[in-house]
Structure formats: structure tokens, C-alpha cells
């Protein structure tokens, strides 16, 4: 199921997504076909959600800058990053000076087009590379943006998979960025692979699972305005997935509390991997801001490969399909898979015998006790030593400092032998 992630991302890459609008709707429809459990929830323009108001719906068809000699620049049809997100419509001849007041570049990365949006102010603008800006000829320019800001809807997709237990594990990702890959199509792709895994892998789920795809910030605020009371009762661990497609690092953005079940689960799943970076809540930037806010206070941490704001291609045209890999996406998928397996195998393993079980008579111990053989079964011993029914599987992994996958395998084996 995780094999398709790169294909999904390639299919969706060209669409112009934003908080609202056609590209965003098409993106949600695409994933709803893959996982029909995902159901659309709409909020109308003007609707109050906590301290915010649902904005107008933004639709865009075309845009460009045209010099009086006929040469075109910043053509939307070549890259949707060329238009500032939520630009109001315009069709006007202006001077180069005035044009420059509406042009955004990334001066320290002069070849790249930056991603810029201006959601909550009436504004318009174009994004081009610093080099292109410096080469714009003198003269007048026609600025053309064929967009509309209308009363419409802000939409998100929501899936709930019921398990035996009411307690639920939660996954959130956002779908509001135009053509960029790591931030942000990687997150929705991994989330959908996880959703498929959860519904296809288990006959009887021990826990319930909830998934949301939404526009960042306003989408999670709108979602929480409907579901926060339910989530406060049921959610025991949640993960905001973003920038999960490259191979350079594994990042854990801690919850506000810093030591929730979600934090423990993720840090256990990252044991022994290369280049693991743990960020405090002070480095938050995505929807964990809303999920962890005072009064909401859900145990939702952030998971990324290279974290947003920390990789050089972030929010530029260089965050493209070359930056992410199937291997990078699968690495992220398997971290979450191991966390889900840990939950489903039982969060609080408890040994069924008093004192150490005799492993030898079950074939679980080398026949000859010699010191170099001990290392191989150290994980088994250590697991059993902490399997007291009170220490959760993630804490056990951290106490014995073994990767969650290895601890899960040991747990499964000892269950097979009836020892836990």
C-alpha cells in the first residue's frame, strides 16, 4: 500500500492548491477515491470558528506579467508558485516601479521562485526568481490575474475507523500548498498510506483511528470547532504529518507538554535511526499549534523527515519531485506503522509468570550459557523485566534502548509462547 505514494504525489503535484478552491477540492477528491472512508466536511465563507472566520473561496484560472514588448513573465501556466496565494483579480498597465512593489523574490536563493501567500488581506502579487527580477527590462507592464474571491466553502476530509476500544489514534496533514512536494504533498500521501494500512491490515482493530486532511491553521481550527470535545475524551495519541518525503533526517516536534503518549511513541520509533532531531514545542509551526493550544491540549506531536523551515528548499520551487523519494516516504510510513503495531499488539505488556520464565525449555534461550550468547537475548530478558502491565511498550523501548520494531517483534514472539 505504501508503494503508490510517489505516484499519488506526481499526479497531484501540478494542481494549484490553497486554503480553498478548485485545486484543493480536486486534491481531496483524489484521496477520497483512494480511501472512500474520507468524507468531506464544509464550512461556509463567513462562518465563525473560534476566533477566526472562514475566508472567501479563492479560484484562479490564469495569471502573468506582460512587458510592453510582448514578453511574458511569471506565467501561472508554467508554475503556480508565480502568483501570490489568494491574489485578488487585476488587469492593469503599470510602471516597472509599481510592479516591483508587487514582486516577491528570495534574494539569498536567486535562482528559485519563493512560495508566498496573503490569505487574510486584500492583496495581489507575483513571485519570480531574484535573477529574473534583475533582468526585467525597463518600460510598462500589464499585470493580469484571472482570479476570483467569492462566497463559497472551506473544505476538509475526515475519516474515522472504529476499533474495539473508544480510545483513538489521530493523524492530521494539510493540503493547502501549491506545487511543492515535501511541504506539502508528502504528508497527505503518507497519511493515506497509513489509512489504507489500518483498514486492510487488521481483522479487529484494538483502537479507533481518525484521519484528517485540511488546509493548515484555519482548517484545523475549523475542525476543532466541531470535534474538540469529542477528541478531548477519546484521543490518546496524535501525529501531525508534514515534510515526510526526503531522506535527510527524522524530526520529532514535541507536544506542548513534551512527554505525552504521542511523544513517547514517536521517540521510541526513532531509536537507533540516523540523524534524529528532536525539537521543542517552541519550534512548532504546523497544526500542532492548534491541537496543543491551551484549553484544547490534545497529545498531538509533529513528525517530519527534514522539518519545515529547516531545509533549504523549503517554500521554494526547489521543493519539487526531485527532493522526495519513495524510500524517504516509506521510511516515514514504517515509523508510523511500527507505532500502530505497538498499539495493536497491546500497549501494556504483562508477563504471565512470576520470576524469570525458563526460556530454555521453550527454545527461547541458547542451550549453552556463554557470555557472548547473552547479547542476543538481552532484548528478550530486558523486555520481560519491564513487562509489568504498567509500563507501556514505548517506555519499555526507551528503557531498554531498542528500536520499536525490534521490541514489537519480541512482544509478538513472547505472546506466541504465552509468556506475556
**How many residues belong to the chain?**
420
Number of residues that bind Zn ion (CB under 5 A): 1
Looking at the Cβ atoms of 183 and 288, the one nearer to Zn ion is: 183
- Helical pair 326-345 and 186-201, crossing angle rounded to 10 deg: 40
The distance of closest approach from Cβ of residue 297 to Zn ion in the complex, given in angstroms and rounded to an integer, is 24
Q: Supply the DSSP symbol for 362.
A: G
Interface with Zn ion includes 288 (CB under 5 A)? no
Q: Which helix (H) or strand (E) covers residue 399, if one does?
A: helix 393-400
Q: Supply the DSSP symbol for 124.
A: -
The distance of closest approach from Cβ of residue 19 to Zn ion in the complex, given in angstroms and rounded to an integer, is 12
Looking at the Cβ atoms of 189 and 419, the one nearer to Zn ion is: 189
Give the position of cell 528559485: 112
Looking at the Cβ atoms of 99 and 116, the one nearer to Zn ion is: 116
Contacts of 190 (CB under 8 A, 6+ apart): 5, 173, 241, 244, 245, 329, 332, 333, 336
The distance of closest approach from Cβ of residue 121 to Zn ion in the complex, given in angstroms and rounded to an integer, is 18
Pick the piece of the chain touching Zn ion (CB under 5 A) from 75-83, 123-131, 181-189, 401-409: 181-189
Interface with Zn ion includes 330 (CB under 5 A)? no
Residue nearest to Zn ion (CB): 183
**Residue 329 — φ and ψ, nearest 5°?**
-65, -40
Interface with Zn ion includes 183 (CB under 5 A)? yes
Q: Is the dihedral of CA 119, 305, 201, 321 positive or negative?
A: positive
- The site map against Zn ion for 3-42 (x = CB under 5 A) is ----------------------------------------
The distance of closest approach from Cβ of residue 184 to Zn ion in the complex, given in angstroms and rounded to an integer, is 6
Under rule CB under 5 A, which residues in 194-253 are in contact with Zn ion?
none
Q: Supply the DSSP symbol for 307.
A: P
Under rule CB under 5 A, which residues in 376-405 are in contact with Zn ion?
none
Q: 125 by DSSP, 3-state: which?
A: coil
Pick the piece of the chain touching Zn ion (CB under 5 A) from 142-150, 179-187, 254-262, 368-376: 179-187
Q: What Rg value do the Cα atoms of the chain yield, rounded?
A: 25
Pick the piece of the chain touching Zn ion (CB under 5 A) from 106-114, 183-191, 222-230, 332-340: 183-191
C-alpha cell belonging to residue 120: 487574510
C-alpha cell belonging to residue 285: 509551526
Pick the piece of the chain touching Zn ion (CB under 5 A) from 123-131, 177-185, 292-300, 363-371: 177-185
Q: 354 by DSSP, 3-state: which?
A: coil
The distance of closest approach from Cβ of residue 321 to Zn ion in the complex, given in angstroms and rounded to an integer, is 17
* Rounded distance between C-alpha atoms, residue 295 and residue 344, angstroms: 29
The distance of closest approach from Cβ of residue 248 to Zn ion in the complex, given in angstroms and rounded to an integer, is 17
Looking at the Cβ atoms of 114 and 163, the one nearer to Zn ion is: 114
The distance of closest approach from Cβ of residue 292 to Zn ion in the complex, given in angstroms and rounded to an integer, is 18
* Rounded distance between C-alpha atoms, residue 87 and residue 223, angstroms: 25
Looking at the Cβ atoms of 116 and 205, the one nearer to Zn ion is: 116
Using an 8 Å Cβ cutoff, are 298 and 274 in contact?
A: no
Looking at the Cβ atoms of 307 and 405, the one nearer to Zn ion is: 307
The distance of closest approach from Cβ of residue 130 to Zn ion in the complex, given in angstroms and rounded to an integer, is 21
C-alpha cell belonging to residue 133: 527580477
* Rounded distance between C-alpha atoms, residue 315 and residue 309, angstroms: 8
The distance of closest approach from Cβ of residue 357 to Zn ion in the complex, given in angstroms and rounded to an integer, is 51
Looking at the Cβ atoms of 183 and 344, the one nearer to Zn ion is: 183
Looking at the Cβ atoms of 130 and 183, the one nearer to Zn ion is: 183
Give the position of cell 505488556: 349
The distance of closest approach from Cβ of residue 183 to Zn ion in the complex, given in angstroms and rounded to an integer, is 4
C-alpha cell belonging to residue 22: 478548485
Nearest to 395 by CA among 220, 202, 260, 238: 260
Under rule CB under 5 A, which residues in 59-98 are in contact with Zn ion?
none
Pick the piece of the chain touching Zn ion (CB under 5 A) from 180-188, 294-302, 319-327, 369-377: 180-188
* Rounded distance between C-alpha atoms, residue 338 and residue 407, angstroms: 10
The distance of closest approach from Cβ of residue 196 to Zn ion in the complex, given in angstroms and rounded to an integer, is 25
Looking at the Cβ atoms of 286 and 379, the one nearer to Zn ion is: 286
Binding site for Zn ion (CB under 5 A): 183
Amino acid at each position: 500500500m505504501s508503494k503508490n505514494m510517489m505516484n499519488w504525489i506526481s499526479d497531484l503535484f501540478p494542481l494549484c492548491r490553497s486554503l480553498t478552491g478548485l485545486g484543493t477540492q480536486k486534491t481531496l477528491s483524489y484521496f477520497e477515491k483512494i480511501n472512500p472512508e474520507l468524507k468531506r466536511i464544509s464550512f461556509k465563507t463567513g462562518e465563525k470558528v473560534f476566533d477566526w472566520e472562514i475566508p472567501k473561496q479563492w479560484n484562479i484560472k490564469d495569471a502573468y506579467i506582460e512587458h510592453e514588448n510582448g514578453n511574458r513573465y511569471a506565467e501561472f501556466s508554467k508554475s503556480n508558485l508565480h502568483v501570490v496565494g489568494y491574489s485578488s483579480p487585476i488587469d492593469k498597465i503599470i510602471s516597472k516601479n509599481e510592479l516591483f512593489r508587487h514582486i516577491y523574490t528570495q534574494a539569498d536563493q536567486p535562482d528559485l521562485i519563493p512560495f508566498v501567500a496573503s490569505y487574510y488581506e486584500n492583496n495581489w502579487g507575483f513571485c519570480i526568481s531574484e535573477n529574473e527580477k534583475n533582468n526585467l527590462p525597463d518600460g510598462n507592464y500589464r499585470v493580469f490575474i484571472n482570479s476570483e474571491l467569492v462566497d463559497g466553502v472551506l473544505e476538509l476530509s475526515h475519516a474515522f475507523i472504529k476499533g474495539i476500544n473508544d480510545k483513538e489514534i489521530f493523524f492530521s496533514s494539510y493540503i493547502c500548498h501549491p506545487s511543492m512536494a515535501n511541504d506539502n504533498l508528502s504528508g497527505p500521501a503518507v497519511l493515506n498510506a497509513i489509512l489504507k494500512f489500518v483498514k486492510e491490515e487488521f481483522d479487529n482493530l484494538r483502537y479507533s483511528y481518525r484521519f484528517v486532511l485540511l488546509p493548515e491553521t484555519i482548517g484545523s481550527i475549523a475542525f476543532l470547532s466541531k470535534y474538540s470535545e469529542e477528541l478531548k475524551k477519546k484521543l490518546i495519541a496524535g501525529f501531525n504529518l508534514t515534510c515526510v518525503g526526503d531522506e535527510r533526517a527524522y524530526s520529532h516536534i514535541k507536544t506542548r507538554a513534551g512527554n505525552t503518549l504521542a511523544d513517547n511513541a514517536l521517540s521510541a520509533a526513532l531509536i537507533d535511526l540516523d540523524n534524529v532531531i528532536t525539537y521543542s514545542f517552541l519550534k512548532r509551526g504546523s497544526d500542532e499549534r492548534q491541537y496543543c493550544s491551551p484549553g484544547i491540549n490534545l497529545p498531538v506531536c509533529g513528525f517530519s523527515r527534514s522539518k519545515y523551515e529547516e531545509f533549504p528548499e523549503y517554500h521554494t520551487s526547489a521543493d519539487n519531485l526531485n527532493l522526495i523519494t519513495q524510500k524517504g516516504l516509506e521510511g516515514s510510513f514504517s515509523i508510523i506503522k511500527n507505532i500502530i503495531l505497538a498499539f495493536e499488539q497491546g500497549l501494556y505488556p504483562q508477563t504471565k509468570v512470576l520470576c524469570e520464565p525458563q526460556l530454555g525449555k521453550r527454545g527461547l534461550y541458547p542451550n549453552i550459557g556463554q557470555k557472548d550468547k547473552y547479547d542476543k537475548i538481552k532484548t528478550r530478558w530486558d523486555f520481560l523485566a519491564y513487562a509489568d502491565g504498567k509500563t507501556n511498550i514505548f517506555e519499555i523501548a526507551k528503557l531498554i534502548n531498542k528500536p520499536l520494531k525490534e521490541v514489537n517483534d519480541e512482544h509478538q514472539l513472547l505472546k506466541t509462547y504465552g509468556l506475556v
